[in-house]
Structure 1
Amino acid sequence: MTAQGPGSRNFTLSQLRYFSVVAQEGSMTGAAGRLRITQSALSSAVAQLEAAMGVPLFRRLPRRGLSLTDPGRRLLRESLPLLEEVDRLPALVRGEEEALTGRLVVGVYEPIASVHLPDILHEFEARYPGVDVSLVEGDQETVRQALLSGTCEMGLLYSMGVLAGLETEVLETLPPHVLVAAGHPLARRGTPVRLAELADEPLILLDLPHTREYLAGLFDAAGVAPQVRHWVKGYDTVRSFVARGGYTILNRVLPHRGTHNGGQVVALELRDDLPGVDVLLARRDDTRPTRRAQAFAGLCRDQTGPSVAEHVSFM
């Protein structure tokens, strides 16, 4: 099947489909494996599409795969809804109720992934078994870049850093809290604390892009100069360090005290008036969401927010 218009060059829907898979995978090798075609056939199809469009769609990065050019991002933005509508045609022609199918790539900031995401995906897969959901899990900046590049169609991230170019929706707000070992004197006291009470103790800092800047802002607002002992990049690693001494500041209160090294930690409410972070549902602000993405967004709204947010008590 060939699409063309006044003054346009020929291209096929298959070429568009191949292009979208390469864009999401970020490599010819990964896309060829997913499509079950040879890499040479895939490369040829993409080259033909680039010739039809009259512009390069990818930048070839040595040892790093492929990244979309600006025209490539525009083409991906328009192609995903178009391909979804094409896939709907047989059911529409037969007058049947059409089920969602295809692939949805979702980016997730790691601290969000382990709490809500398993339940969201379990329900999504039960409702829409024809949709293949793939995840890009990483730090805040990784997810942001994946959304802006077109690798992900939807994302779950925090309201930290520069979010220009993204359309966002607040799902819930998480206030900051202090985490200390279960045997810490403040844990035994069992009342809200001020950061100033911990000023002389070692801080275990969650050292992720934008997270570290947010945390630094909290200390500035409280007028406290923290004594950083360790800079740690893993959420669970931070908890394990704290179980052996020191403290940290986090936003997500987990429903258990145990750490991976067998320790116990306690979340303490902060008396300081400090800003929380919003959990955001995000997509590029110049994209048209597919029906798959809209269904995923609706489920995220149902399973997060004040009415269903986890009710985890301090102490």
Structure 2
Amino acid sequence: MDTNLKALRYFMAALRCGSISEASKHLHVVPSAVLAAVNQVEEAFGLQLTTRQRAKGIAPTATGQILMQRIQHLLDEYETLMSIGTEMRTQLTGTLRVGYYAPVAPAFLPGIAHGLLAENRRADIKFIACDNETAQTGLISGAFDVILCVAQRMKPGVTYETLVEVPAYLLVPRNHSFAARASVSLKDLGGETLVLLDLPAVSEYYSRILEEAGASPRIASSATTLEMVRSLVGAGVGCSLLHMRPATDITYAGDRVAEVPLSPAPPPLKIVLGHLPDNPRRLVKAFVDQVRVLFSKEESRRFLVRLPEAK
């Protein structure tokens, strides 16, 4: 079978109008184009679908009437599909799937979601926490529309842009002696007890900078979520190395913690925004634009712990 949607449209128009010439006027094409389409459809099915009489025009056979219903359903489905595609391109509608590997993402993604969803009732957003590998694989496979992750071992095919370079800092209980200091060296951690965030890429980074600094603190505990690490630190289990910070110094347990810059500052991690480059849905584009705006503003600095700038 070898036919196309245009031929099916012309075929249906001819039978609806009951005349090749009337269908050609309706479609704004020459009669020969309609006739050729009717012949093509009949040839493709290998069935007699029409009867043609010079005085009475063109009419469907019994077989043609059966197929007309199916053909019209196909054309309707196609129009619906194209309408949905146009809507996705021009309106904020549908489901946006965001994969993120950024422990502090809950500090800023909800604000972006609110801005997009408050005025767009036909849109919804699914946030999926994952690791770096899963985020990138998900973007390439179509599981995610956009990702936030660490710029480490980025896969070919992932288009990404750096949102922010994030320096590491030391998180300590509020009553710890380091809390009153302007900065702490990694070498100062030799006699300390640490709680580590045990996530791919991040844990490797912390192990590397400690080794390079010649520091060998005791690792008392580890956790795979940021808030568990913060709560362990607040409870006095140990200090921790982290990157981005939330907007509060209170843990889930109600303890207070303090962020202390590292000096000299180790190489920062890069948080990147990954997306597919060509013809994104409007909802995807709007989300990407909002993330860019957030990290281009001074307010994004509140997520970072840095050494005081020299005067």
- TM-score band by shorter chain is 0.5 to 0.7
Task: Name the counterpart of 1:250.
Answer: 242
**How has the CA–CA distance of structure 1 residues 180 and 87 changed in structure 2, closer, same or farther, with 3 Å as cutoff?**
same
State how far apart, in whole Å, the 2-side matches of 1:178 and 1:84 are: 53
Matched letter for residue 84 of structure 2:
D
Q: CA contact under 8 A between 1:84 and 1:290: conserved in structure 2?
A: no
The question of 1:262 aligning with 2:262 is answered no
Change in CA separation of 1:171 and 1:313 when aligned onto 2, cut-off 3 Å: closer
State the one-letter code of the partner of 2:295: T
Aligned match of 2:84 in 87, 90, 104? 87
Query: TM-score if structure 1 supplies the norm length?
Result: 0.65
Aligned 8 A contact 1:180 1:245 in 2: no
Structure 1 residue 86 displacement after superposition: 3.5
Are 1:166 and 2:163 an aligned pair? Answer: no
Partner of 1:102: 94
Counterparts of residues 269-288 of structure 1 (less than 5 Å): 269-284=261-276, 288=279
CA contact under 8 A between 1:206 and 1:232: conserved in structure 2?
yes
8 A contact 2:91–2:283 mirrored in 1? no
| Alpha-carbon distance in 1 for matches of 2:266, 2:156 | 24
1:296 alignment counterpart: 287
Measured against aligned partners, the alpha-carbon deviations of 1:182-217 in whole angstroms (never above 9, x if no partner) come to 1111113x2211011111211111101111111122
Identical columns (%):
27
Matching residue of 1:21: none
Tell me if the contact between 1:107 and 1:143 (Cα under 8 Å) persists in the aligned partners.
Answer: yes
Query: Residues 84 and 102 of structure 1 are in contact (CA less than 8 Å); yes or no, is this contact kept in structure 2?
Result: no
Q: Give the drift of 1:149.
A: 2.4
**Which digits, 9 at most, give the CA deviation of each residue in 1:266-312, with x for residues without a partner?**
10011123111222110246x64222211111111112235330436
Residue 195 of structure 1 is aligned with which of 186, 191, 194? 186
Q: How much has 1:130 moved relative to structure 2?
A: 2.5
Report the alpha carbon displacement of residue 123 of structure 1 after superposing the two structures with TM.
Answer: 0.4
Q: Could you tell me which of 111, 123, 132 is aligned with 2:124? A: 132
* Counterpart position of 1:233: 224
CA contact (8 A) 1:269 1:314 kept: yes
> 2: distance between equivalents of 1:313 and 1:160?
20
Q: 1:112 to 1:265 in 2, by over 3 A?
A: closer
Contact 1:167 1:282 in 2 (8 A): yes
Name the counterpart of 2:206: 215
Match of 1:120 in 2: 112
User: Which ranges of structure 1 fall in alignment gaps of 5 or more residues?
Assistant: 6-82, 93-97
Q: CA RMSD in A?
A: 3.0
Once the two structures are superposed, residues 6-40 of structure 1 have per-residue CA deviations (whole angstroms, 9 ceiling, x without a partner) of xxxxxxxxxxxxxxxxxxxxxxxxxxxxxxxxxxx
Structure 2 unaligned blocks of 5 or more: 6-79, 307-311
Are the aligned partners of 1:105 and 1:154 in contact in 2 as well (CA < 8 Å)?
Answer: yes
What is the match of residue 37 of structure 2? Answer: none
For the Cα contact (< 8 Å) 1:160–1:214, is it kept in 2?
Answer: no
